[in-house]
Amino acid sequence: AALLSLTCDDTAAEKAADLALRQINADRNEGYILSLYRIFSVREHPQEITGSVFYLILDVVDTECHVLSKKLRKNCMARFDHTTAYGQCKAIIYINQARNFAHLNTYECILQPVPPRYIWTVCPDCPVDDNPAEPKYLKAAVQSLAKFNVKSEQTHYFSVPNVTRASMQWVEGPAYFVEFLIQETSCSKNDTIADISKCKPLSSELAQIGFCKGSVVNSHLEQEQFVTISCEIYSLQ
């Protein structure tokens, strides 16, 4: 059969894009849930038996939900334009409507952050995304997590396997903003632990995981440090 070019507002095109992005988000284990910005192009290859293969190019942006949350993208908050990562996903998906079946054959997504020059134009005082692997951001994440470990009702301490997003801003001193994953360790909260980084993470089959957003704001005027933290703990997959 011939390869058909569909308009981007075609019902079949919209359904194929929705199903493809849903399966892409379910398959990824790093980064954030992606949301559809627009359908860039879609081609349909009807099969001999009921069903079609769709070749899609989708413009996407990331949301505030980590992929490990397994949330639907409609339940995830969009990021502000100057903080989002954007890019394209190319996908091939087979859909058989008669059998209510869809299979994502292959996909590739390439994302990039908004250029700093755009952020400075739109919001000159906003923090700009930085390399989350820098030690200062891991330190900020650990400081934020310490507050969670004290206040949470979890039975074990959690540690920071990696920082997923980070930025810095100068207010009355350096202010660090971090997003990071957390993993349950073998150390019980009934014990006094001097250094949680020495606690071994539980195995992936047993450990609860979570996602946190934290900040460490240093005020030179008040000679104080202000720490915030909010976390979501995900059910064992």
The pLDDT tens digits for 57-109 are: 999 999 999 999 999 999 999 988 878 899 999 999 999 988 889 999 999 99
pLDDT at 236: 65
pTM for this predicted structure: 0.87
Annotated domain spans of the chain: 4-116, 128-234
Lowest mean pLDDT among 11-25, 112-126, 141-155, 167-181: 112-126
| CA angle in degrees (0–180, nearest 5) for 9-19-237 | 150
Half-sphere exposure of 29 (CA within 13 A, CB side): 2
The torsion angles phi and psi of 143, rounded to 5 degrees, stand at: -65, -45
**Residues in Cβ contact with 100 at an 8 Å cutoff, skipping those fewer than 6 apart:** none
Please indicate whether the domains covering 4-116 and 128-234 agree at the CATH topology level.
yes
Q: Where do the DSSP E strands lie in 131-197?
A: 156-170, 174-188
What fold characterizes domain 4-116?
Nuclear Transport Factor 2; Chain: A, (3.10.450)
pLDDT in tens, 149-161: 999 999 999 999 9
What fold characterizes domain 128-234?
Nuclear Transport Factor 2; Chain: A, (3.10.450)
pLDDT at 165: 95
